[in-house]
């Protein structure tokens, strides 16, 4: 086994790892990046990009199928699944290719291939061929799909987001386990492409929604289109037919149902890739999940020369967050023991379902209801939404009773992927409700709905607002 010395050893070559490498090099450090699996980032290979390609095909099919709404008759259209997935894979491979090209240009002495194992705070063994002595280590190992124990005996029949984009033909029926981001985005897309999709979830959550009023509306809206069993008690899942499964379930301890499905898609969340990494051989204190404690502002694990970034943290598992965290962890690893804390950007998460779901800044579950006021708007009769025939949803905006700062929002509605950005900028700019109402709103646009919600919020603040003296929001609202 050869031995090499570097200032910073980075475990993982995804979005966080690549950004950590760039940041460490900018600080003048010597770097080696270690990767055991395929390059290309989770987003490009099996996440953001292929799912959006599938969603776009589904949108096109949905528009054709519902053209009659606008007085346009389209007869005899069909979905060619092979062509749909050929485009998905072709464009996906193009996105992955850009990442692979970037990795190929990394000098050979800055990258290693093999499974990394920490044997101390400063030593990483790579496979059976290299021992790296590093001043600091950055863990950027990403995450992996979680398969519930009940389904693991059927793993050879399960489709996850690593496999779903590789199918050649659409199944007639599909059971989807989960109602999170990946489950609903992919499941709804396949439904709109002609698959009979049934969703199962052990609770009533939909994506990241925590506001009970928004959640109730989400169940109503999605329930009109999709077959969903929330709070399902799954009694048994067994193999059936060549590739299918048989599911027995009940809801709320009522009648037991049984149904056969041609395929099953499992999207019950992802888990940080920290197990088997050797963290127990370091000075880090691990919790019952095997996770170390770390400072989200620096990426540093306790006061150790070890940093963590991206999906491996289990925190904000989004590409733009992984990029930010990688840069911070890489820079701090290079300058350790001198580390700098950063103010995080306002949180922003979007689900590309129809209608979109978005969480901006502080969602409802992270707020104290006694300290905030709420404003809302329904998209059911909002002008531009009705014009588009997409009039369904609700937006709830939150502001501090003290001073009236916007701190967050939970949104369900048409094109709120765009509205969410405007609100995130307003939150990060520490804008008050009154200041937001001074911004221009065009007519007729979906964004006018946000003005309605802001007006409602302003009225509620006039009733509940507390004096603004002594305001002390140093890090800004929604950070």
Q: Please tell me the predicted confidence (pLDDT) of residue 474.
A: 44
Does 137 lie in the same domain as 8?
Answer: yes
**pLDDT (tens digit per residue) in 80-99:** 999 999 999 999 888 888 88
44 in a structural domain: yes
Average pLDDT (150-176) is 91
Q: CA–CA separation, 176 vs 161, rounded Å?
A: 12
- Judge whether residue 247 has pLDDT over 80: yes
pLDDT band at 475 (very low <50, low <70, confident <90, very high): low
Does 290 lie in the same domain as 141?
Answer: yes
> Which among 223, 244, 268 is the end of a domain?
268
Does 166 lie in the same domain as 137?
Answer: no
Average pLDDT (199-228) is 96
Q: What is the span of the domain harbouring residue 220?
A: 149-268
Q: CA–CA separation, 479 vs 471, rounded Å?
A: 16
For residue 226, give Cα distances in angstroms to 105, 180, 184, 185: 46, 14, 10, 12
- Judge whether residue 305 has pLDDT over 90: yes
343 in a structural domain: no
Q: Please tell me the predicted confidence (pLDDT) of residue 456.
A: 96
CB-CB contact of 322 with 17 (8 Å): no
pLDDT band at 75 (very low <50, low <70, confident <90, very high): confident
471 in a structural domain: no
- Judge whether residue 463 has pLDDT over 80: no
In terms of Cα–Cα distance, which of 143, 137, 144 is closest to 20? Answer: 137
Q: Please tell me the predicted confidence (pLDDT) of residue 47.
A: 77
- Judge whether residue 471 has pLDDT over 80: no
> Any idea how long the chain is?
479
Coil vs helix vs strand at 158? strand
Token pair belonging to 55: 């969603």
Does 393 lie in the same domain as 367?
Answer: yes
Q: CA–CA separation, 445 vs 162, rounded Å?
A: 38
Q: Please tell me the predicted confidence (pLDDT) of residue 93.
A: 86
- Judge whether residue 223 has pLDDT over 90: yes
Contacts of 100 (CB under 8 A, 6+ apart): 39, 40
- Judge whether residue 237 has pLDDT over 70: yes
Average pLDDT (464-469) is 66
H or E element that contains 97: helix 81-104
**Location of structure tokens 């006021």:** 373
108 in a structural domain: yes
340 in a structural domain: no
What does the mean pLDDT of the chain come to? 92
Average pLDDT (266-272) is 92
Does 232 lie in the same domain as 173?
Answer: yes
> Which among 215, 244, 268 is the end of a domain?
268
Average pLDDT (151-163) is 89
Q: Please tell me the predicted confidence (pLDDT) of residue 74.
A: 87
CB-CB contact of 420 with 358 (8 Å): yes
Does 304 lie in the same domain as 440?
Answer: no
Contacts of 280 (CB under 8 A, 6+ apart): 286, 290
**pLDDT (tens digit per residue) in 341-387:** 988 999 999 999 999 999 999 999 999 999 999 999 999 999 999 99
Q: What is the 3-state secondary structure (H, E, C) of 10-49?
A: EECCCHHHHHHHHHHHHCCCCEEEEECCCCCCHHHHHCHH
Q: CA–CA separation, 319 vs 43, rounded Å?
A: 7
Contacts of 63 (CB under 8 A, 6+ apart): none
CA 125 to chain centre: 31
Does 450 lie in the same domain as 414?
Answer: yes
Token pair belonging to 188: 């709804």
**pLDDT (tens digit per residue) in 314-351:** 988 888 899 999 999 999 999 999 999 988 999 999 99
Nearest 5°: the CA angle 213, 404, 360 is: 50
Does 364 lie in the same domain as 251?
Answer: no
Number of structural domains the chain divides into: 3
CATH code at position 123: 3.50.50.60
Residue ranges with strand state E in 22-101 = 31-35
Token pair belonging to 311: 């999906």
Nearest 5°: the CA angle 439, 343, 103 is: 105
In terms of Cα–Cα distance, which of 357, 26, 430 is closest to 184? Answer: 357
Contacts of 174 (CB under 8 A, 6+ apart): 187, 190, 195, 196, 197, 198, 261, 262, 263, 264, 265
Does 168 lie in the same domain as 249?
Answer: yes
Residue 282: φ, ψ to 5°: -95, -175
Q: CA–CA separation, 44 vs 161, rounded Å?
A: 12
- How large is the C-alpha radius of gyration of the chain? 24
**pLDDT (tens digit per residue) in 409-443:** 999 999 999 999 999 999 999 999 999 999 999 99
pLDDT band at 405 (very low <50, low <70, confident <90, very high): very high
Q: CA–CA separation, 399 vs 406, rounded Å?
A: 4
Report the chain's terminal Cα–Cα distance, integer Å.
46
Does 130 lie in the same domain as 11?
Answer: yes
- Judge whether residue 27 has pLDDT over 90: yes
Q: Please tell me the predicted confidence (pLDDT) of residue 411.
A: 98
Q: CA–CA separation, 266 vs 200, rounded Å?
A: 10
21 in a structural domain: yes
Alpha helices in 226-362 (DSSP H): 319-335
Give the chain's count of helices (H) and strands (E).
11, 22
What is the pTM assigned to this prediction?
Answer: 0.92
Token pair belonging to 148: 């519930």
476 in a structural domain: no
Does 113 lie in the same domain as 250?
Answer: no
What percent of the chain stands above pLDDT 70? 96
Half-sphere exposure of 52 (CA within 13 A, CB side): 14
Burial class (CB in 10 A: 0-12, 13-18, 19+), 421: middle
In terms of Cα–Cα distance, which of 457, 416, 420 is closest to 435? Answer: 457
- Judge whether residue 39 has pLDDT over 80: no
Average pLDDT (152-167) is 89
CB-CB contact of 113 with 97 (8 Å): no
> Which among 268, 293, 311 is the end of a domain?
268
429 in a structural domain: yes
CATH code at position 458: 3.30.390.30
Does 141 lie in the same domain as 284?
Answer: yes
Token pair belonging to 228: 């969903």
- CB atoms under 10 Å from CB of 115, counted, come to 15
């Amino acid at each position: 086994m050869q031995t090499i010395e570097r200032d910073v050893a980075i475990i993982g070559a995804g979005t966080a790892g690549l950004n950590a490498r760039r940041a460490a090099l900018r600080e003048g450090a010597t770097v080696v990046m270690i990767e055991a699996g395929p390059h290309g980032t989770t987003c490009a290979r099996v996440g953001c990009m292929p799912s959006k390609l599938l969603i776009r095909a589904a949108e096109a099919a949905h528009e054709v199928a519902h053209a009659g709404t606008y007085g346009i008759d389209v007869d005899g259209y069909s979905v060619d699944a092979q062509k749909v997935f050929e485009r998905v894979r072709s464009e996906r491979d193009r996105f992955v290719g850009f990442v692979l090209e970037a990795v190929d240009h990394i000098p050979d002495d800055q990258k290693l291939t093999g499974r990394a194992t920490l044997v101390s705070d400063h030593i990483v063994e790579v496979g059976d061929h290299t021992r790296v002595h590093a001043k600091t280590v950055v863990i950027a190992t990403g995450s992996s799909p979680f398969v519930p124990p009940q389904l693991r005996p059927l793993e050879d029949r399960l489709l996850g987001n690593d496999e779903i984009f590789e199918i050649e033909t659409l199944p007639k029926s599909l059971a989807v386990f989960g109602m999170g981001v990946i489950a609903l985005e992919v499941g709804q897309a396949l439904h709109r492409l002609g698959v009979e999709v049934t969703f199962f979830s052990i609770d009533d959550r939909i994506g990241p929604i925590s506001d009970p009023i928004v959640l109730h509306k989400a169940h109503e809206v999605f329930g009109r289109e999709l077959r969903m069993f929330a709070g399902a008690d799954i009694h048994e899942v067994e193999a059936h037919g060549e590739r299918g499964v048989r599911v027995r379930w009940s809801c709320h301890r009522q009648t037991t149902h049984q149904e056969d499905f041609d395929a099953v898609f499992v999207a019950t969340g992802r888990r940080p890739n920290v197990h088997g990494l050797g963290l127990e051989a370091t000075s880090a204190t691990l919790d019952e999940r095997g996770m170390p404690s770390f400072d989200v502002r620096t990426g540093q694990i306790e006061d150790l020369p070890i940093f963590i970034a991206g999906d491996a943290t289990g925190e904000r598992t989004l590409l733009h967050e992984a990029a930010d965290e990688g840069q911070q962890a890489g820079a701090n690893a290079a300058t350790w023991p001198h580390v700098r804390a950063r103010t995080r950007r306002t949180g922003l998460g979007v689900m590309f379902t129809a209608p979109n779901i978005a969480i901006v800044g502080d969602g409802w579950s992270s707020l104290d209801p006694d300290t905030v006021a709420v404003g809302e708007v329904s998209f059911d009769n909002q002008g531009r939404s009705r014009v588009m025939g997409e009039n369904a949803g609700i937006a709830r905006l939150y502001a501090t009773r003290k001073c009236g700062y916007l701190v967050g929002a939970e949104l369900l509605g048409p094109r709120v992927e765009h509205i969410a950005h405007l609100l995130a900028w307003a939150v990060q700019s520490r804008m008050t409700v009154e200041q937001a109402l001074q911004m221009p709103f065009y007519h007729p646009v979906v964004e006018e709905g946000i003005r309605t919600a802001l007006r409602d919020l302003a009225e509620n603040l006039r009733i509940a607002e507390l004096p603004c003296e002594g305001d002390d929001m140093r890090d800004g609202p929604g950070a």
